[in-house]
Amino acid sequence: MTTLVTVPELETRFAGVITPDTRKGYEGYIVDVQHLKDFAKALRDEYGYDYLASLTGVDYLPEGKMEVVYHVYKSTGGPGLVFKVQVPRDNPVVPSLVDIYPGANFQEREAWDLLGIRFEGHPNLRRILLWEGFWGHPLRKDWREPYFEEEGKPYSSRWPEGKHFHHEDRNPFGKNVDYPPGFDPYTWEPETADEILYQAVLKRSEIRDDLRTERVVINLGPQHPSTHGVFRMIVTLDGETIVALEPVMGYLHRNHEKIGERNTWIMNIPYTDRLDYISAMANNFGYVLAVEKLMGIQPPERAEYIRVIMAELTRIVNHLWAIGFLLNDLGAFFTPALYAIEERELILDVFEAVTGSRMMNNYFRFGGVARDIPEDAWKKLVELVTDRLPRKVDELDRYLTESELIKSRTIGVGVLTAEEAIALSTSGPVLRASGVPYDVRRADPYSIYDRFDFDVAVRYHGDVYDRYLIRIDEMRQSLRILQQAIRDIPDGPIMAGKPQYQVRVPPGEAYGRVEAPKGELGFYVVSTGKPNPWRYHVRAPSFVNLTALETMCRGHKIADVVTILGSIDIVLGEVDR
Amino acid sequence: MDGRGILRGLAVTFKHFIASYVDDFRRLGKRYFTQEGVLYRSSPQVEGVFTIQYPEERRPVPENFRFIPFLVYDEGPNGEKEIRCTACGICAKVCPPQCIWIVRAHDPETGKPLKKPAEFYIDVDICMNCGFCAEFCPFDAIIMDHDYELATYDRFATNVFDINRLLKPASYYQQIRPTQYALKAAEREKKAAAKAARRGKAA
């Protein structure tokens, strides 16, 4: 369970500037918007809260307020601190924290894009997930999607008089999009938007006077096999060397968070599967932790163990995949990838027997897990964890780690220093490969991770090679946790109380964070006591880790971009949400 | 940087290459196109080639596997279909993508609602196979199926399943999910016994 603290010293020092958040179910401080930057600076430099985990906004429509919520942590570990600023809804302007926490960059752009909060002083405040011509800010509570039916599910048209209709009939193609007044999609030229983009990139690449070289702008993607989906990088080149890089995303955007706010609490669980679809159960985990914190319930022992087993198997699945495809990006065409995927298949077989699905597991519930592990699946799981997987991880290590080809392509490439990694809010393997031993499982333990004996894998060079090595290390540590978990797992119930389809969630806010395979996955939820969440925000590790992409790529050759992107290990389902 | 790392890596590849042939000979005639071979190729002991030659070979799906729900009916003594569904609407209320549409039946004479569905639709284009409907159904009336081969040419014509398409007999349910069927049947019997005992006491 993630913990948050209050610092009494702050209250006396910033008397009049910060007030404790006294709303029922809320924590932390409300900071006066004029003094936000001073406060954040003091927090970072004097109190050690140097890691901005999550930044998001909430639209409190009835009170006419917009709120920006910041969760900050110490990179040395320990509980975090939450503070908020409140601004009027009709003119929400908040000073940008990019120069204090550079990791706020994409998150502030996202809050501008989806909620319309302007961050003054942000170097590049453009839309990030939606396209430039989009009308409105969809996460505002009074914004309605074209296929709008009702404010919240379940829809009354389904029962007891549920006559089926096709959505396409109600929203014929061509009429299912709202445009701003005077906007004609047929005469609008997308080039204007691209022009703005290119200018933004070119502006950042300083021209060296001694060599009168020309800058070339190259679009990598969105349709490019190395981007692991639909992802675009606008790269400015000096010869073959990268001077500036601008990631463009949102091609897979479906406004997961708006869907989440229409859903009832339980309906969100299968939707979280579809965020990072390689490691679905880690997503389940983060979401149920956040909601359980609000509900104040604790799953029984056996369920905790099953959760840990599933989360760690998910990590192995994810890292096998990540290593396999990193090698693919390096040009080792599919042999390493398929060796890794073979083992993944066997783990997915276990998932299928336990959860009913190979990838879209939908397995965790509030207060437990959906069903117990069947006998035959358990047998297979134990065999895998104790015998096969350790062997195969060693084989993968023997196969790849010492290969000179891999070493020459990855050592010294895409270096991210420890200071940069913390400042840019990277998390997971990217952060730990840069020499910061920060693992949420250890730094801010949740579930029953404090009982297991494992090491936080850490590597110190911060290059692609270390990001590869750390995944091998982490798989070994996961196997250690798994071996302890299958030894200690007790018998007993797997659910606290009776399974319910309508849960009552008391009003308040909660931030649930887990160490997902790709980094810190956080869910910020706000409840008003209604059947649907008021706010449902996903702090996606892939998305925030991309903030560091430009820093990693600058100065390297264009061919290395593919490798560096592969070493961050993104999944677009999570980046674009 | 003398190439020994590459050679050691190639040795692993070579081992895999050899293993695929060795295993084929060792299990000659048993490895492919037999149920035993399919099971072996998805077991933790497998070496060599993993691939299952679908559709000639099929991996048996585990009992918990879920794909598109169906409605259960019990067969009456004269072969009539006794639909278990009571049109309570829980499945429609818990469905995340809201793909279930139910029309409750009404008594033709009094106009009072009956505990029966008149119409039942599932739009399988929208269904996300999460299994909530089956999980929360108090009557064990809607169950996730094992049949995953539903490809069609025209989704508008075929992919909205109505009640006739959705109904399957309880014997089919028992066949695909024997453990769950037995568990739920025992639960129902217990409940019915408790109810009978209560009624006996009241009388």
Yes or no, beta carbons of A162 and B63 under 8 Å apart? no
Please check whether residue B166 is in contact with residue B71, taking contact to mean a CB–CB distance below 8 angstroms.
yes
CA distance B44 to B79: 45
Q: Which tokens sit at B124? A: 């399988």
The predicted model scores a pTM of 0.89
Minimal Cα–Cα distance from B75 to chain A, Å? 26
Yes or no, beta carbons of A159 and B102 under 8 Å apart? yes
Closest CA to A62 of A138, A141, A115: A141
Residue B196 buriedness (CB in 10 A; 0-12 / 13-18 / 19+): exposed
Average pLDDT over residues A449-466: 90
Residue A2 has pLDDT above 60, yes or no: no
Mean of all residue pLDDT scores within chain A: 87
A396: which residues sit within 8 A by CB, 6+ positions away? A320, A323, A336, A339, A340, A472
Helix (H, G, I), strand (E, B) or coil at A413: coil
Indicate the pLDDT class of residue A529, thresholds 50, 70 and 90. confident
Q: Is the dihedral of CA B21, B26, B28, B32 positive or negative?
A: negative
Yes or no, beta carbons of A154 and B44 under 8 Å apart? no
Q: Kindly report which listed range (A206-215, A301-310, B155-164) carries the lowest average pLDDT score.
A: A206-215
- Of the residues A170, A376, A399, A410, the best mutation for testing chain B's interface (the one with the most B CB atoms within 10 Å of its CB) is A399
User: Which of A160, A374, A407 comes nearest B87 by C-beta?
Assistant: A160
Helix (H, G, I), strand (E, B) or coil at A373: coil
CA distance A508 to A497: 22
User: Which of A162, A346, A401 comes nearest B101 by C-beta?
Assistant: A162
Minimal Cα–Cα distance from B196 to chain A, Å? 24
* Beta bridge partners of residue A31, listed in sequence order: A18, A85
Closest CA to A66 of A86, A36, A84, A82: A86
Q: Which tokens sit at A79? A: 């509980």
- Of the residues B1, B46, B94, B165, the best mutation for testing chain A's interface (the one with the most A CB atoms within 10 Å of its CB) is B94
Indicate the pLDDT class of residue A217, thresholds 50, 70 and 90. confident
A355: which residues sit within 8 A by CB, 6+ positions away? A281, A310, A361, A362, A363, A370, A371, B64
B170: which residues sit within 8 A by CB, 6+ positions away? B72, B73, B74, B75, B84, B181
pLDDT at B53: 87
Average pLDDT over residues A11-27: 83
pLDDT at A1: 45
Q: Kindly report which listed range (A95-109, A110-124, A224-238, A343-357) carries the lowest average pLDDT score.
A: A224-238
Location of structure tokens 């284009």: B125
pLDDT at A443: 87
Average pLDDT over residues A15-33: 86
Q: For residue B166, what is the DSSP state? A: H
Q: Domains for chain B: give ranges and CATH numbers.
A: 1-60 (no CATH), 69-202 (3.30.70.3270)
CA distance B72 to A386: 41
pLDDT at A210: 63
Residue A353 has pLDDT above 60, yes or no: yes
The three-state DSSP-derived secondary structure of A135-168 is CCCCCCCCCCCCCCCCCCCCCCCCCCECCCCCHH
Helix (H, G, I), strand (E, B) or coil at B13: helix
Minimal Cα–Cα distance from B4 to chain A, Å? 8
pLDDT at B58: 87
Location of structure tokens 């540590």: A477
Indicate the pLDDT class of residue A476, thresholds 50, 70 and 90. very high
pLDDT, tens digit, 9 for 90 and up, residues A318-343: 999 999 988 888 888 888 889 989 89
Yes or no, beta carbons of A362 and B103 under 8 Å apart? no
Identity at A148, one-letter amino acid code:
F
Angle between helices A558-568 and A464-488 (to 10 degrees): 10
Yes or no, beta carbons of A159 and B101 under 8 Å apart? yes
How many beta-carbon pairs under 8 angstroms link A with B? 147
pLDDT at B100: 92
- Partners of B42 on chain A (C-beta within 8 Å) are 345-346, 349
Beginning with the edge strand found earlier in the chain, give each strand of the sheet holding A18-20 in spatial order: A18-20, A29-31, A81-88, A65-73, A51-60
pLDDT at A318: 93
Yes or no, beta carbons of B96 and A271 under 8 Å apart? yes
The parts of chain B modelled with pLDDT lower than 70 are 1, 202-203
Yes or no, beta carbons of B131 and A154 under 8 Å apart? no
pLDDT, tens digit, 9 for 90 and up, residues A57-75: 999 988 889 999 999 998 8
Closest CA to A491 of A244, A298, A248, A303: A303
Instruction: Indicate if ipTM > 0.85.
Output: yes
Yes or no, beta carbons of A160 and B5 under 8 Å apart? no
- Of the residues A150, A164, A364, the best mutation for testing chain B's interface (the one with the most B CB atoms within 10 Å of its CB) is A164
Identity at B149, one-letter amino acid code:
E
- Report how far apart the first and last C-alpha atoms of chain A are (Å, whole number): 25
Residue A470 has pLDDT above 90, yes or no: yes
- Partners of B102 on chain A (C-beta within 8 Å) are 158-160, 162
pLDDT at B159: 87
- Partners of A410 on chain B (C-beta within 8 Å) are none
Residue A204 has pLDDT above 70, yes or no: no
Please check whether residue B41 is in contact with residue B52, taking contact to mean a CB–CB distance below 8 angstroms.
yes
* Most confident of the ranges A169-178, A190-199, A372-381: A372-381
Average pLDDT over residues A204-222: 70
